Amino acid sequence: MAYSSPVIVQRYIKNPLLIRGYKFDLRIYVLLTSIKPLEIFLYKEGFARFSTETFSLNPASLQNNQIHLTNYSIQKHYIKQGCTRDLVSDPVLEGSKISLRTLKMKLKAYGVK
């Protein structure tokens, strides 16, 4: 059996790990070229994308895209001066994205091992 359509696998996490109150997701690219035998290629450097509003599960905020979605196409319209600037001050990436290398340094600085 052969599949020719790209597939995205994702799941919403109700209680995500936050950095300074901001939700983020990881973009790690994997290319699956064969099932039998299993052959997978992992891109070495992905990135993390941040929301531009602090996370909340308050029912009044559930429709607020800036809290729950990290897509740059949505967040670029809402990046406010200072809201995530100190989190995403990465010289390589702009807006609400940082490299995985920078994310690892930030997590270490916040005590996440």
Band (pLDDT 50/70/90 cuts) for residue 84 is low
Structure tokens belonging to residue 35: 């099932």
- Strand-pair category, 97-99 with 22-27: unpaired
Label residue 52 exposed, middle or buried (CB < 10 Å: 0-12, 13-18, 19+): buried
Percent of the chain residues topping a pLDDT of 90: 8
Strands of 22-27's sheet in order across: 18-19, 22-27, 47-50, 97-99
Task: State whether residue 56 is helix, strand or coil.
Answer: coil
pLDDT of residue 69: 83
pLDDT of residue 86: 55
Answering whether pTM is above 0.85, one says no
